[in-house]
């Protein structure tokens, strides 16, 4: 009898080593699988049945958190994806189990996409004022996020010796350790150059925290995703952007929306965002529907 818990550990190691998934992703899959194993009381893979999976899906759909709220369909699907991929791995290593393709995902709600209109972007960009290092840094951060569509984790990992402000392009390592090319606008190149030229420290990181007492013997000044999120939120408040929760990801959404509104094809946007599937990129087509309405009004049924 193959112990399901041992096989789970083997699968997570396969994810990390063979599939090049991050430890965070492997950890999430581990938690999702632990929940299923605990619910189903499965000791071996043969204990995992289609009826048991159906009961688990009902459980996920009905369970409530401490606030009395049900799990989002997206979260429910994350649990099922982890289980389905685990079963795919069982088949791969020759262990008989429920076929993974028998497990369908639930229909998800449309993801809500928050993005900034041009006037809001302008106000956000203008929020960092002056020639102090922190203002130059913040302006470079905002401009880089909108110019490249980077994830905040990708932005945090940048080193300044990798930035070529003449060529205006750089490679970033995204999810699944996939490398893609991103591009800096002329405006962004200028903001980054001005910021780098003002720095007097020797830290290799591109975006750093600035100690109140100046640069001394402090090491590891690299900004964290949470720090960058606070910087963006502070400037959004200063810029008077109301009714929207503005984050680094909002600028990623704004980047994609801007490209599509201006005629970019969805496959190109997919490549620039680093999405493995075009289905993920298609969430942005909803926000461009307004243009379709205007086209319909302008051209339909004209006499």
- Tens digits of per-residue pLDDT, 206-234? 999 998 877 777 678 999 999 999 999 99
232 and 204: one domain?
yes
Which of 78, 102, 126 is the endpoint of a domain? 102
Q: Which two tokens stand for residue 287?
A: 């926000």
Same domain, 89 and 160: no
300 a catalytic residue = no
**22 and 146 share one domain:** no
- The answer to the question of residue 108 being in a domain is no
Domain final position from 67, 102, 137: 102
Report yes or no on whether pTM surpasses 0.95.
no
- The percentage of residues in the chain with a pLDDT greater than 70, rounded to a whole number, is 91
Same domain, 130 and 54: no
Residue 303 lies in a domain: no
Same domain, 229 and 143: yes
CATH of the domain at 90: 1.10.150
Residues 122 and 231 in one domain: yes
Q: Is residue 274 part of a domain?
A: yes
Q: How many domains does the chain have?
A: 2
Q: Catalytic residue at 29?
A: no
Same domain? 71 vs 197: no
Dump pLDDT digits (tens) for 266-300.
899 999 998 888 878 887 876 666 666 666 667 76
Would 290 be classed as within a structural domain?
A: yes
Of 55, 78, 102, which residue is a domain's last? Answer: 102
In terms of C-beta distances under 8 Å and separation of at least 24 residues, what long-range contacts does 198-207 make, across chains too?
A: 198/131, 198/133, 198/136, 199/133, 204/159, 204/160, 204/161, 205/158, 205/159, 205/160, 206/158, 206/159, 206/160, 206/162, 206/163, 207/137, 207/140, 207/141, 207/155, 207/156, 207/158
| Residues 157 and 274 reside in one and the same domain | yes
The reply to whether 35 belongs to the active site is no
Has residue 153 got a pLDDT over 60? Answer: yes
Active-site residue identified among 175, 209, 222, 238: 175
Q: What is the mean pLDDT of residues 190-212?
A: 93
299 domain residue, yes or no: no
pLDDT class of 184 with cuts at 50, 70, 90 = very high
Options 8, 139, 151, 189, the catalytic residue:
151
Give the active site residue among 11, 29, 89, 284.
Answer: 284
pLDDT category, 237, cuts 50, 70, 90? very high
Q: What is the mean pLDDT of residues 158-179?
A: 87
For residues 60-70, average pLDDT: 85
Cβ contacts of residue 150 below 8 Å, gap of 6+? 144, 172, 182, 252
Q: Are residues 197 and 244 in the same domain?
A: yes
The string over 77-111, giving b where at least 16 C-beta atoms fall within 10 Å of a residue's C-beta and e elsewhere, is bbbbebbbbbbebbeeeeeebbebeebeeeeeeee
- Whether 112 is covered by a domain: the verdict is no
Q: Can you give the residue range of the structural domain that contains 235?
A: 118-294
Mean of per-residue pLDDT scores for the chain: 88
Pairwise pLDDT comparison (229 vs 74), residue with the higher score: 229
151 assigned to active site: yes
Task: Indicate whether 159 and 184 sit together in one domain.
Answer: yes
In a domain, 301, yes or no: no
CATH of the domain at 252: 1.10.443.10
Catalytically annotated residue among 57, 79, 189, 275 = 275
Q: 123, 209, 222, 249: which one is catalytic?
A: 249
- Annotated catalytic residue 275: yes
Q: Is residue 16 part of a domain?
A: yes
pLDDT digits (tens, 9 = 90+) for 93-137: 999 999 998 888 777 555 667 889 999 999 999 999 999 999 999
Catalytic residue among 57, 137, 235, 252: 252
Q: Does 88 lie in the same domain as 122?
A: no
31 has catalytic annotation: no
């Amino acid at each position: 009898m193959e112990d399901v818990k041992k096989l789970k550990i083997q699968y997570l190691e396969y994810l990390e080593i063979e599939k090049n998934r991050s430890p965070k992703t492997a950890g999430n899959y581990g938690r999702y699988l632990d929940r299923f194993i605990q619910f189903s009381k499965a000791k071996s893979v043969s204990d995992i049945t289609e009826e048991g999976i159906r009961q688990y899906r009902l459980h996920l759909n009905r369970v409530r958190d401490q606030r009395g709220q049900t799990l989002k369909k997206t979260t429910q699907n994350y649990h099922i994806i982890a289980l389905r991929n685990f079963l795919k791995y069982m088949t791969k290593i020759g262990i008989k189990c429920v076929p993974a393709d028998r497990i369908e995902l639930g229909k998800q709600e449309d993801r809500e996409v928050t993005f900034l209109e041009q006037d809001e972007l302008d106000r956000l960009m203008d929020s960092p004022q002056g020639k102090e290092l922190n203002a130059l840094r913040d302006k470079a951060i905002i401009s880089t996020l909108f110019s490249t569509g980077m994830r905040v984790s990708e932005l945090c990992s940048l080193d300044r010796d990798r930035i070529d402000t003449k060529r205006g392009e750089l490679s970033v390592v995204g999810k699944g350790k996939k490398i893609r090319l991103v591009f800096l606008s002329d405006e962004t190149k200028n903001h980054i150059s001005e910021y780098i030229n003002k720095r007097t420290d020797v830290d290799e990181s591109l975006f750093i925290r600035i100690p109140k007492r100046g640069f001394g013997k402090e090491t590891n000044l690299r900004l964290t995703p949470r720090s960058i999120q606070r910087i963006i939120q502070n400037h959004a408040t200063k810029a008077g952007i109301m009714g929207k929760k503005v984050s680094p990801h909002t600028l990623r959404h704004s980047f994609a929306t801007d490209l599509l509104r201006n005629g970019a094809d969805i496959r190109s946007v997919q490549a620039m965002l680093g999405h493995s599937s075009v289905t993920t990129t298609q969430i942005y087509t909803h926000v461009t529907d307004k243009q379709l309405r205007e086209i319909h009004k302008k051209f339909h049924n004209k006499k």
